[in-house]
Amino acid sequence: MCQLHYRRWWKHGDPLHLDRPKSYDGQSCSIDGCDSVAYAHGLCSKHHQRQKANGDPLAIQRREKGTGSISVQGYRIITAPGHPLANARGVFEHRVVLYDKIGPGEHACHWCSTPVTWDITTAADPRALLADHVDFDRLNNDPANLVPSCWGCNITRTRARSGVR
């Protein structure tokens, strides 16, 4: 099982379990004119994602040509045809900037010196190289603000900043 389904199985005994509020099961989205089934907080998946990304379920984030878009997690996504890290949907800008700064192959985690590499397909792999924002600002993609990090250090720093243990 992938990490998502394993966690669902471990927590709920069912790898297909969805954490949806019971009160919205089968109801329509609360946005006028939307007939989709409510996913969370009375909103369908599309409007819920817009609410998370923009603070408004009706806001469609427009972008200027060449500036990319902002993911639900708050990272800038750009198109970079031909870049080794790019796929059909684009690539996170901070990954492109760090890759261009340090190059391909194996590198040491900035925080613990564990060897990490770009070539791992899942970010939760302890050998995966993550581009870590030193100042925690997900849109500050200045090369000086980006360092290679292992998954463990990246999660530990994020949890420490948010007060989660």
In a shared domain, residues 141 and 110: yes
> Length of the chain in residues, anyone?
165
The gap from C-alpha 155 to its chain's centroid, in whole angstroms, comes to 13
In a shared domain, residues 79 and 146: yes
Per-residue pLDDT at 62? 55
Q: How far apart are CA 19 and CA 12, in angstroms?
A: 10
Per-residue pLDDT at 104? 94
Nearest to 138 by CA among 71, 57, 47, 91: 71
Kindly report, residue by residue over 8-17, the tens digit of the pLDDT: 888 888 888 8
Mean pLDDT, range 105-129, rounded to an integer: 86
Per-residue pLDDT at 7? 85
In a shared domain, residues 82 and 112: yes
CATH of the domain at 85: 3.90.75
- Asked if 71 and 63 count as a contact pair (C-beta separation under 8 A), the reply is no
Per-residue pLDDT at 15? 86
Lowest mean pLDDT among 31-40, 49-58, 108-117: 49-58
Question: Per the structure block, which two tokens stand in for 101?
Answer: 């700064």
Q: Does residue 133 belong to any structural domain of this protein?
A: yes
Q: Does residue 22 belong to any structural domain of this protein?
A: yes
Per-residue pLDDT at 116? 94
71 CB contacts (<8 Å, ≥6 apart)?
53, 77, 92
65 CB contacts (<8 Å, ≥6 apart)?
none
Per-residue pLDDT at 99? 96
Rg, the chain, Cα only:
19
Q: Does residue 64 belong to any structural domain of this protein?
A: no
In a shared domain, residues 129 and 50: no
Q: Does residue 95 belong to any structural domain of this protein?
A: yes
Number of structural domains the chain divides into: 2
In a shared domain, residues 34 and 115: no
Domain, as residue range, for 147: 69-162
In a shared domain, residues 115 and 148: yes
Q: How far apart are CA 162 and CA 110, in angstroms?
A: 20
In this structure, what DSSP letter does residue 29 have?
A: P
Rank 40-54, 86-100, 119-133 by mean pLDDT and report only the highest: 86-100
At 53, is the pLDDT very low, low, confident or very high (cuts 50, 70, 90)?
Answer: confident
In a shared domain, residues 49 and 73: no
Quickly tell me which residue has 């427009």 as its tokens.
62
Q: Does residue 63 belong to any structural domain of this protein?
A: no
Per-residue pLDDT at 23? 47
Q: Does residue 14 belong to any structural domain of this protein?
A: yes
Mean pLDDT, range 85-110, rounded to an integer: 91
Question: Per the structure block, which two tokens stand in for 123?
Answer: 């970010």
Q: Does residue 59 belong to any structural domain of this protein?
A: no
Q: Does residue 102 belong to any structural domain of this protein?
A: yes
Neighbours of 107 (CB within 10 A): 19
Lowest mean pLDDT among 37-46, 55-64, 66-75: 55-64
